[in-house]
Amino acid sequence: MSHHEVVIIGSGPAGLTAAIYTARADLAPLVIEGEPSSTSDQPGGQLMLTTEVENFPGFPEGIMGPQLMIDMRAQAARFGADIVTAKVSRVDLGERPFRIWVGDPEAPEPTHTADAVIVSTGARSVMLGLEAEQRLIGHGLSTCATCDGFFFRDQEIAVVGGGDSALEEAGFLTKFASKVTIVHRRDELRASKIMQQRAFDNPKVEFAWNTVVDDVLGESKVEGLAVRDTVTGEARTLPVTGVFIAIGHRPNTDLFAGQLDMDEAGYLVTGADRSTTNVEGVFACGDVQDHTYRQAITAAASGCMAAIDAERWLESRGD
């Protein structure tokens, strides 16, 4: 068991910015960064599955998402943040010092204890919830366009979703695919204007509006996507060999159920213009508490807020 003044759970832009600030404040933070996975719930967070980031200030030519996260991690390590590759299995925020388990959640002793905890566990991609998903993921069904687009050269594929990430994936996938159909349940997009215009201008991109997915077809690999028009009720099959899911995100807050206040969608509730939670000494930042902006820069900014809030709170206790 090891004790730390500050433990940061999660290592996207929010967690690593909090690590940079608390490390520079001589609080020797421990960052429990998560474990590798092909979903966005992994060290580095959602940016690890992206390509070019064009809107992070300071990079006029853009920067690759994974590179930005590798650089942030190196910056945190440079100031003495202790970063461990592990996943938190249980927390007890009922009394101080807070208790944190890695590995066996039933172990009598926690792995770490902390005076202050910064929660930056982010959000993960939502799946469609179809039985076929378990069978076909990695066999034509994907949540990572940058990982898997390569395997669909000159093939027809579908992207399900209508937000920025769906359009970004669709644009990226046209580098490989002969045609990309964006399947969206509404008749307009949630995505930003610039992303919409790019998609409309791309000759390889088509739209299936007011369309929902009934099933992903194929036994050992994807052979089609069964969809239905919500206005006419007409069902049809898109002859695609690849399906990429980008229908939204869900906050990673299961660990904190019954301990930290959440809204109906499971996002942590923080104080107005602050990173404080309902538990004194526990702070939250990044997408785990933000369903409005969800940008790398807003996550980083809120990580800075959490670090300063934690530092001031620790000082006010006189430690």
Partner 1 sequence: MAGAISNLSETTFDEEVGSASEPVLVDFWAEWCGPCKMIAPILEEIASEQEGTLRVAKVNVDEAPELARRFEVMSIPTLILFSDGQPATRIVGAKGKPQLLQELAAHL
Phi, psi of 299 (to 5 degrees): -65, -45
- Residues 6 and 118 sit within 8 Å (Cβ to Cβ): yes
CB of 139 to partner 1, least distance (A): 6
Query: Residue 81 corresponds to which amino acid?
Result: A
With CB under 8 A as the contact rule, which of the stretches 21-29, 33-41, 200-208, 292-300 interacts with partner 1?
33-41
The reply on whether position 38 binds partner 1 by CB under 8 A is: yes
Neighbours of 96 (CB within 10 A): 16
In the DSSP assignment, the letter for residue 137 is B
Phi, psi of 70 (to 5 degrees): -60, -40
What is the Cα–Cα distance from 303 to 297, expressed in whole angstroms? 10
Structure tokens at 277: 């939670």
With CB under 8 A as the contact rule, which of the stretches 92-100, 137-145, 231-239, 248-256 interacts with partner 1?
137-145
CB of 155 to partner 1, least distance (A): 10
CB of 234 to partner 1, least distance (A): 30
Site string for partner 1, 139-168 (x = CB under 8 A): xx-x-x-xxx-xx-----------------
CB of 35 to partner 1, least distance (A): 3
In the chain, the N- to C-terminal Cα span, in Å, equals 20
Neighbours of 115 (CB within 10 A): 19
CB of 121 to partner 1, least distance (A): 16
Q: List the one residue out of 185, 191, 201, 198 whose CA is nearest residue 164.
A: 191
Catalytic annotation present for 26 = no
With CB under 8 A as the contact rule, which of the stretches 16-24, 30-38, 72-80, 310-318 interacts with partner 1?
30-38
Strands 224-229 and 123-125: unpaired
Site string for partner 1, 63-82 (x = CB under 8 A): --xx----------------
Structure tokens at 271: 């104080």
Catalytic annotation present for 285 = no
Q: List the one residue out of 190, 234, 195, 196 whose CA is nearest residue 212.
A: 234
Query: Residue 193 corresponds to which amino acid?
Result: K
Catalytic annotation present for 148 = yes
The reply on whether position 85 binds partner 1 by CB under 8 A is: yes
The reply on whether position 138 binds partner 1 by CB under 8 A is: yes
Q: Which is nearer to partner 1, 150 or 293 (CB)?
A: 150
Rg (CA), the chain: 21
List the catalytic residue out of 115, 148, 287, 290.
148
Site string for partner 1, 240-269 (x = CB under 8 A): --x---------------------------
Q: Which is nearer to partner 1, 147 or 194 (CB)?
A: 147
CA distances from 91 to 15, 114, 259 (A): 17, 11, 9
The reply on whether position 44 binds partner 1 by CB under 8 A is: yes
Instruction: Catalog residues that contact partner 1 under the rule CB under 8 A.
Output: 35-39, 42-44, 48-49, 65-66, 85-87, 103, 137-140, 142, 144, 146-148, 150-151, 221, 242
Active site residues: 144, 147-148
